[in-house]
Amino acid sequence: MGDAGEKASMRRVLGSPPRLLDDRARPVSPVSIAEFVRAGSSEQETGVRTDLGRWLSKIAPRRKSMKRSSTHAASWIGGAAVVLFILTTGGQPWLVRMLGSYAYFFPPVIIAVFLALNWRARSRLYLAHPPSLVAQGFCGQCGYSLLDLLPAEDNCIVCPECGAAWRKERLTWAWWSSPRDVSRPAPPSRPFRFVFYPRESEAPDAAGRLVPAITPSMVQDCAESSQGNDGAHWRSIWAELRPIGRLGRAVTSIVTAATAIVLSVSGALGLWPAMTMASIVLGALVSALGVAFAFALWRGDLYMVREDVVRVLTQHELCPSCAQQLTRVVDDEHVVACSHCGSTWLLPAANKS
């Protein structure tokens, strides 16, 4: 399988800057999201900055690359608070001996304050994500608007404010272009389903820009809830995803069901002195719950990952972010920018069967 090679070439296409470099390989230090949001000059620009900033600060905690040293410091303080809490409630309440019973209030208060501060300071703590900024026409380092700038000979647009250089192809959805209302599939979630992969997720596109991503569970919900042509399309995509991780799902669900049955039956028979079931009925009920959970595991998306969805959707020439048709351009590298949402994807070679 040329899968690893494909992934490597996807990284090579425009290169998602792994160590925060601009397109002339110079290190950049991005502004904080809060600073980026404040800098708008027109209503349209401010709107785009606000939306992008809101989204980036929402996903920032999941993206370590956007972390700043102050976030690490905050994590250490939070960790220390938890250790303090354990020490205080454990067998050796040294803090209680020192401070009396007031000590019991300290750790929860410290943790609550830490969580509140971390939540409030999120956009200040986290850095704006360079390729995501450039895609919408802002400098990836300082956030300055790149409107009306012409590319240099190497096809890079140079920021007049900080000198960072960004390849022109990265601007796939400039803030000054007419606003687009991007529709993404939003299938109703099935009741009582166990979701192992979140319905909301984000992925770097081929240009390293962070975009909302369609997840395995979203594909499954689309396949099972949409009707007609659209539904048939989703079902064929889901049929390709379904075999991924099937063995792992089978083993996990069999082990889960077997454990539930063995534990509750042996409990009901009194084989576990510490865990005797009140009755056979209770044992049967616990077994049934275990089997139901195992069945949900088997029917779910466990062991499928977002990358699998990206691969299958690009094979179908669909955008892995908004599910719209990608229009292939005559291009050796098969890099296609989605005309609907502006994300960039690498399509498999056209002659591949």
Q: What residues contact residue 306 under an 8 Å CB cut-off, 6+ apart?
A: 197, 201, 203, 213, 215, 216
What distance in Å separates the CA atoms of residue 85 and residue 79, rounded to the nearest whole number? 10
| Angstrom distance (rounded) from CA 63 to CA 112 | 23
Exactly one of 31, 95, 159, 318 binds Zn ion (CB under 5 A); which one?
159
3 state SS of 343: coil
Sole window of 7-15, 156-164, 172-180, 249-257 interacting with Zn ion (rule: CB under 5 A): 156-164
CB 209 within 8 A of CB 344: yes
> Does residue 310 touch Zn ion according to CB under 5 A?
no
What is the separation of C-alpha 59 from the centre of its chain, rounded to a whole number of angstroms? 7
- Return the residue of 123, 136, 141, 256 that touches Zn ion, per CB under 5 A: 141
Q: Which is nearer to Zn ion, 209 or 249 (CB)?
A: 209
Total chain residues near Zn ion (CB under 5 A): 14
Nearer residue to Zn ion within complex by CB, 128 or 302: 128
In the complex with Zn ion, the residue whose CB is nearer, 144 or 303, is 144
Residue 219 phi, psi (nearest 5): -60, -45
Q: Binding of Zn ion at residue 136 (CB under 5 A)?
A: no
Q: Measured from the CB of residue 320, what is the shortest distance to Zn ion in angstroms? A: 8
Query: What is the rounded CA–CA span in Å between residue 302 and residue 286?
Result: 23
Residue of 36, 144, 166, 303 that binds Zn ion (CB under 5 A): 144
Q: Give yes or no for residue 161 binding Zn ion (CB under 5 A).
A: yes
* Contact with Zn ion (CB under 5 A) among 28, 60, 95, 139: 139
In this structure, which amino acid lies at residue 211?
A: V
Contact positions with Zn ion (CB under 5 A) in 36-55: none
The residues in 324-353 that bind Zn ion, with binding defined as CB under 5 A, are 338, 340-341
Would you count residue 319 as binding Zn ion (CB under 5 A)?
yes
Q: Indicate which single residue of 309, 322, 335, 337 sits in contact with Zn ion (rule: CB under 5 A).
A: 322
Toward Zn ion, which CB reaches closer, 31 or 95? Answer: 31
Residue-wise DSSP of 112-169: HHHHHHHHHTHHHHSBP-HHHHHHTTB-TTT--B-TTPPP-TTSEEEPTTT--EEEGG
- Looking at the Cβ atoms of 103 and 134, the one nearer to Zn ion is 134
43: buried, middle or exposed (CB in 10 Å: 19+, 13-18, 0-12)? Answer: exposed
Please report, as ranges, the residues that interact with Zn ion according to CB under 5 A: 139, 141-142, 144, 159, 161-162, 164, 319, 321-322, 338, 340-341
